[in-house]
Amino acid sequence: MEQIEDKAPEGAGPGYKHGGAGWMTTRVDALLDWGRRNSLWPMPFGTACCAIEMMATLCSRYDLSRFGSEVIRFSPRQSDLMIVSGRISIKMMPVLIEIYNQMPEPKWTISMGACASSGGVFDTYTLVQGVDQFIPVDVYIPGCPPRPESLVDAVMMIQEKIKRGEKQTKVYDRTTHPLDFQPVALVSGAAQADPELTGTRHTLPPKDVETEAEKKTE
């Protein structure tokens, strides 16, 4: 009897595990992935201006339901693609994390616009400078706001990702992170050396640290 050779078929992603009825499972997996990528139900987490462009993408001219995203029901339990569109403030971040946790696996995330990807125009005390610090993001869309074609392109990239079998590999650890948290200051005290630049992500390095380039030129 011939032994069925057990190697990873082409197009399989990093999650592929050898063993068992390899060929049959990959065909079923491919079918499931085909189903998933052609019926992505978005969870539109729209907060600001990008949400209006997302609404324009869902409307007649740039119809997103061509890609299977017909159902926009704002229910995380019934969706698999979260589109974070708009700026996320520190008051909204716990809400975002909770809604993201309520989405069942497998799920993917699009960070739409400059504010969700990196804080955008607003480098202030109250906006999270990029949701990817805290939530796994699969596709980033630059733009302020990005054109609807960019959102369509991002959805197509997610479809390519699903075809390759890539899923998110980060979890939220409830033992170490309770869900009812509130943001707390990391830096205390009144005016710092440069009151404008205080904020733990964009603080300038202290001046007495020499960089490699400076050492070389001396």
Partner 1 sequence: MAVDFAALQATVRERFAEQVLDWTEFRRQACLHLRRERVVDVMRFLRDDASTRFAMLSDVTAIDLLKHPEADKWPERFAVVYQLYSLEHNARLQVKAYVPEVPCETPSVTELWSAANWGEREVYDMYGIRFTGHPDLRRILMPDTYEGYPLRKDYPLKGRGERDNFPKYTEIPEEGRGGRA
Partner 2 sequence: MSTVPTPNIQRIAPNASKAVAQNLAMNLGPSHPACHGTLRFKIEVRGEEIVECDPEIGFLHTGMEKLGEYRSYNQYVAVTDRMNYLSSLNNNIGYMIACEELMGIEVPPRAQCLRVIMAELSRLADHVVSVGLQGMDLGAFSAMLWTFVEREKLYDIFEAVTGARMTTSWTRVGGLFRDVPDNFTEMVSAFLDKFPKIIVDIETMFSSNRIFKDRTVNIGTVTAEQATRYGLTGPLLRACGVPYDVRRARPYSGYEELEFDIPIRYEGDVYARYLVRLEEMRQSVRIIRQALDKLPSGPVNVDDHKVTLPSKDQVYQDMESLIHHFKIVMPGHGITPPVGEIYSCTEAPNGELGFYLVSDGTGLPYRVRVRPPSFYNHQTMPLQVKGRLISDAVSILASMNVIAGELDR
How many whole angstroms separate alpha carbon 54 and alpha carbon 107?
19
116 binds, among partner 2, partner 1, none (CB under 5 to 8 A by kind): none
How many whole angstroms separate alpha carbon 123 and alpha carbon 134?
17
Would you state the structure tokens that stand for residue 7, as one six-digit string?
A: 């190697």
How many whole angstroms separate alpha carbon 129 and alpha carbon 31?
38
Interface with partner 1 (CB under 8 A), residue from 60, 169, 211, 217: 169
* Range in contact with partner 1 (rule: CB under 8 A) among 2-10, 38-46, 58-66, 85-93: 85-93
How buried is 43 (Cβ within 10 angstroms: 0-12 exposed, 13-18 middle, 19+ buried)?
buried
**Distance of closest approach, residue 128 Cβ to partner 1, in angstroms:** 5
The residue (of 142 and 183) whose beta carbon lies closer to partner 1 is: 183
DSSP state of 111: E
**Distance of closest approach, residue 44 Cβ to partner 1, in angstroms:** 21
By CB under 8 A, the residues from 8 to 67 that bind partner 2 are: 45-49, 51-53, 55-56, 59-61
How many whole angstroms separate alpha carbon 163 and alpha carbon 159?
6
By CB under 8 A, the residues from 113 to 142 that bind partner 2 are: 121-122, 124-127
Would you state the structure tokens that stand for residue 196, as one six-digit string?
A: 């404008």
Between CA 87 and CA 113, with CA 51 as vertex, the angle to 5 degrees is 50
| Interface contacts to partner 2, rule CB under 8 A | 45-49, 51-53, 55-56, 59-61, 73-74, 86-87, 89, 91-92, 95, 99, 121-122, 124-127, 144-145, 147, 196
